[in-house]
Amino acid sequence: MPHPADPERPDDWYSVLGVDPVATTDQIAAAVERRARQANALAVTAPERARQLRDQVRAIKQDLLSGAEQRERYDQRLARQEANAVPSLPPARTPAGYPAETPAGQPAPAPPSPHGPAAGGQPLPQAGSSPPPGAGARGLMSRVAQFLRTGWTCSNCGYGALPTDKFCPKCGSKIQPGLGGRAAADSHPDMAPPSEAPAAQPAPCGKCGGMIAPGDAFCTRCGALRA
Amino acid sequence: MSEPTAFGIDLGTTLSVVAQVNKAGLPVVLPNAEGSQTTPSVVLFDGGTAVVGPVAREALAAEPEVVVQLVKRHMGSHWSFDYQGISYGPEHISALILRKLLADAQLLGGPVSQAAVTVPAYFNDPMRSATRRAAELAGIEVLGLLSEPTAAALAFGYERRPAGATGVVVDLGGGTFDVTVMDYDGHDLAVRATGGDYYLGGSNFDKVLFDYLAEEFRAAHDLDINDPDSLSLDECTQVSHDWLLRATRAKHDLTSRERTTVALQAAGLLLRVEVRRDTFLARSRPLLDEVTEKIIDVVAAAGVAPKDVNFVLAVGGSTRIPAVRERVQEIFGRPPDTSVRPDEAVALGAALFAAQRQLEQGSALVMEPQARDYLANLTVTDVAAHTLGISVFDADAGSDPGAGRRASGRAGGRQVMLPLLTRNTRLPFDTRRTFYTMQPGEQRIMVPILEGEEADPELCQRIGAVVVDGLPAFRPAHQEVLVTMRLDRDGILRVAAADVATGMAASTTIVHAHQQVSGHAADVAVRAMTVE
CA B474, chain centre distance (Å): 45
Query: Are A1 and A77 within one domain?
Result: yes
- Does some domain include residue A116? no
pLDDT the model gives residue A20: 86
| Nearest CB to B65 within list A38, A106, A144 | A38
For an interface test with A, give the residue of B42, B207, B236, B406 to mutate (most A CBs within 10 A): B406
- Among the listed residues B83, B84, B150, the one whose alpha carbon sits nearest the alpha carbon of residue B116: B150
- For B474-519, the three-class secondary structure string (H helix, E strand, C coil) is CCCCCCEEEEEEEECCCCCEEEEEEECCCCCEEEEEEEECCCCCCC
Handedness of CA B243, B244, B245, B246 (dihedral sign): positive
**Domain end among A37, A61, A86:** A86
| Nearest CB to A177 within list B241, B410, B438 | B438
Within 10 angstroms of residue B63's Cβ, the number of other Cβ atoms is 16
> Is pLDDT above 50 for A67?
yes
All residues of chain A having their beta carbon less than 8 Å from the beta carbon of residue B464 are: 148
Question: By CA distance, what is A179's nearest residue in B?
Answer: B446
- Does some domain include residue A141? no
- How close is the nearest chain B Cα to the Cα of A73, in Å? 24
**What residues contact residue B219 under an 8 Å CB cut-off, 6+ apart?**
none
From residue B144, alpha-carbon distances to B21, B98, B358, B447 in Å are: 16, 15, 10, 27
- Does some domain include residue A122? no
Residues B438, B425: Cα–Cα separation, whole Å: 32
Residues B248, B245: Cα–Cα separation, whole Å: 5
Residues B322, A132: Cα–Cα separation, whole Å: 59
Are B436 and B480 contacting, i.e. CB atoms less than 8 angstroms apart?
Answer: yes
Residues B532, B529: Cα–Cα separation, whole Å: 10
- Is the model more confident about A157 or about B104? B104
Mapped onto helix, strand or coil, the DSSP state of residue B166 is strand
Q: Do B226 and A40 touch (CB under 8 A)?
A: no
| Domains of chain B with CATH codes | 7-200+286-381 (3.30.420.40), 202-283 (3.90.640.10), 388-421+428-512 (2.60.34.10)
- How close is the nearest chain B Cα to the Cα of A40, in Å? 8
Q: How confident is the model at residue A123 (pLDDT cuts 50, 70, 90)?
A: very low
DSSP-derived secondary structure for B423-477: TTPBSSEEEEEEEE--STT---EEEEEEESS-SSGGGSEEEEEEEEE-PPSS--S
pLDDT the model gives residue B338: 78
Residues A118, A125: Cα–Cα separation, whole Å: 9
Question: By CA distance, what is A111's nearest residue in B?
Answer: B405
Are B41 and B16 contacting, i.e. CB atoms less than 8 angstroms apart?
Answer: yes
- How close is the nearest chain A Cα to the Cα of B89, in Å? 12
pLDDT the model gives residue B280: 94
Residues of chain A numbered 84-103 and touching chain B (CB < 8 Å): none
Gyration radius of chain B's alpha carbons: 25
Query: Are A1 and A79 within one domain?
Result: yes
Q: Do A144 and B237 touch (CB under 8 A)?
A: no
Q: Do A141 and B442 touch (CB under 8 A)?
A: no
Are A102 and A108 contacting, i.e. CB atoms less than 8 angstroms apart?
Answer: yes
Residue range A208-218: average pLDDT? 74
- Does some domain include residue A127? no
On average, the pLDDT of chain B sits at 88
DSSP-derived secondary structure for B216-256: HHHHHH---TT-TTTS-HHHHHHHHHHHHHHHHHHHHHHHH
All residues of chain A having their beta carbon less than 8 Å from the beta carbon of residue B79 are: 40
Q: How confident is the model at residue A100 (pLDDT cuts 50, 70, 90)?
A: very low
All residues of chain B having their beta carbon less than 8 Å from the beta carbon of residue A48 are: 226
Residue span of the structural domain in which A203 resides: 152-227
Pairing of strands B259-266, B39-40: unpaired
Q: Which of A86-90, A173-177, B225-229, B356-360 has the highest mean pLDDT?
A: B356-360
- Does some domain include residue A206? yes
**What residues contact residue B340 under an 8 Å CB cut-off, 6+ apart?**
B152, B155, B156, B313, B315, B348
- Does some domain include residue A195? yes
Encode chain B (532 residues) as per-residue pLDDT tens digits: 567 899 999 999 999 999 999 999 999 999 999 999 999 999 999 989 999 999 999 898 888 889 999 999 999 888 999 999 899 999 999 999 999 999 999 999 999 999 999 999 999 888 998 999 999 999 999 999 999 999 999 999 888 888 889 999 999 999 999 999 999 988 899 999 999 998 999 999 999 999 999 999 999 998 888 888 888 888 888 898 899 999 999 999 999 999 999 999 888 899 999 999 999 999 999 999 999 999 999 999 999 998 889 999 999 999 999 999 999 999 999 899 878 888 999 999 999 999 999 999 988 888 888 888 899 999 999 999 889 888 877 766 655 444 444 444 445 678 888 888 888 989 889 888 888 888 888 888 888 888 888 888 888 888 888 888 888 888 888 888 888 888 888 888 888 888 888 888 877 777 776 655 556 888 989 998 999 8
**What residues contact residue A218 under an 8 Å CB cut-off, 6+ apart?**
A167, A168, A169, A170, A171, A172, A212, A224, A225, A226
- Does some domain include residue A51? yes
Handedness of CA B282, B288, B290, B296 (dihedral sign): negative
All residues of chain B having their beta carbon less than 8 Å from the beta carbon of residue A33 are: 82-85
- Provide the domain count of chain A: 2
pLDDT per position as a tens digit, B179-219: 999 999 888 999 999 999 989 999 999 999 999 999 999 99
> Residue A38: which CATH number?
1.10.287
A48 touches chain B (CB under 8 A): yes
Q: Which amino acid is at B471?
A: L
Question: By CA distance, what is B242's nearest residue in A?
Answer: A45
- Among the listed residues A143, A168, A163, A159, the one whose alpha carbon sits nearest the alpha carbon of residue A225: A168
Question: Which ipTM was obtained for this model?
Answer: 0.79
Instruction: Count the alpha carbons within 13 Å of B285 in the hemisphere toward its beta carbon.
Output: 4
Q: Which residues of B305-326 are buried (b: 16+ CB within 10 A; e: fewer)?
A: ebeebebbbbbbbbbbbebbbe
**Domain end among A49, A69, A86:** A86
Q: What is the pTM of this model?
A: 0.76
Mapped onto helix, strand or coil, the DSSP state of residue A120 is helix
**Domain end among A60, A86, A112:** A86
Q: Do B236 and A46 touch (CB under 8 A)?
A: yes
Q: How confident is the model at residue A93 (pLDDT cuts 50, 70, 90)?
A: very low
Residues B350, B272: Cα–Cα separation, whole Å: 43
pLDDT the model gives residue A165: 66
pLDDT the model gives residue B216: 93
- Among the listed residues B248, B246, B252, the one whose alpha carbon sits nearest the alpha carbon of residue B265: B246
Query: Are A2 and A80 within one domain?
Result: yes
DSSP-derived secondary structure for B280-335: HHHHTHHHHHHHHHHHHHHHHHTT--GGG--EEEEESGGGGSHHHHHHHHHHHSSP
- How close is the nearest chain B Cα to the Cα of A89, in Å? 31
All residues of chain B having their beta carbon less than 8 Å from the beta carbon of residue A110 are: none
